[in-house]
Structure 1
Amino acid sequence: MANHNSNNEANVLHPHITPMSTYLKVAGALFGLTFLTVIAHHFNAQLGAFAAPIAFLIAAVKATFVLLYFMHLKDDTNMNRAIFATGFFFLIVLLLFSVVDIVTRVVEVSPL
């Protein structure tokens, strides 16, 4: 017989049981967003400068679904959410520094 402890310690693993229907809905949304990405790619020329922001927005929504449901951040503690948010914050800082570096470069003309 399994031993069921009634104490609520912080170190005890409490699994979060998510219904299969939720996983199927999220998977369907991910497939739909992937299909939307393919459609957006076909209209790349018409979207012009908005093509990249739209692609990044779709990717961000897909990443949010994966983080919340498949990585169980929806049911996790605020500390783990803060750790993930900090990682994304520093990723954005890295990308911003890269963009600033590229934009502020001086074009060199070869004397030859």
Structure 2
Amino acid sequence: MSGLGEAAPTGAAAIWRGRLAVWAALLALLGATLALAYVPLGRFGLVVALGIAAAKALLVVLLFMHLRKPDPLLRLTAFASLVFVAFLLTLTFADVLTRAAPTQPGTVLPRSGPDLPATGQRAF
């Protein structure tokens, strides 16, 4: 025995019951995301939004992708994808954090306002 699918529900009603519960939980988290978008939480808005997103991702990963008891190859694939996403996020944040602020001397900013040239010249 490989250990996969031994405790899986066999009847259609059991399968639908489990999936509908997860779907309802995902819809509840979606409603919480929508409701909290209109609540002024200040600095904690991002933390709450990321917490809700992590809960939704955890539900999808554990229950729809069957990573609760995966075989070793599926576990390795999931781990490799997480490492790759972490690598891409690290590169993105490194790029953003090393950019010069647009208010430093010598930074070219587009002009705006009524003093723009009307002859089709560039506004830089």
Matches within 5 A, 1:62-81: 62-81=56-75
How many residues of Structure 1 are paired with residues of Structure 2 in the alignment? Answer: 99
> Which of 49-58 and 86-95 deviates more?
49-58
**Structure 2 residue 36 is the aligned partner of structure 1 residue 36:** no
Tell me, in whole angstroms, the C-alpha distance in 1 between the residues paired with 2:83 and 2:56: 18
How many angstroms does 1:60 deviate by?
Answer: 1.6
> Which of 29-38 and 100-109 deviates more?
100-109
Unaligned runs of 5+ in 2: 110-123
Where does residue 89 of structure 2 map in the other structure? 95
- The aligned amino acid for 1:34 is L
Where does residue 110 of structure 1 map in the other structure? 108
Where does residue 54 of structure 1 map in the other structure? 48
How many angstroms does 1:21 deviate by?
Answer: 2.2
After superposing on structure 2, the runs of 4+ consecutive aligned residues of structure 1 that deviate more than 6 Å are none
Deviation string, structure 1 residues 64-106 (Cα, Å, up to 9, x no partner): 1112111222232143123212212221221122112111212
Where does residue 5 of structure 1 map in the other structure? none
Tell me, in whole angstroms, the C-alpha distance in 1 between the residues paired with 2:108 and 2:26: 49
Where does residue 4 of structure 1 map in the other structure? none
- The aligned amino acid for 1:32 is A
Higher relative contact order (CA 8 A, sep 6+): 1
Tell me, in whole angstroms, the C-alpha distance in 2 between the residues paired with 1:47 and 1:90: 32
- Relative to the length of structure 1, the TM-score reads 0.70
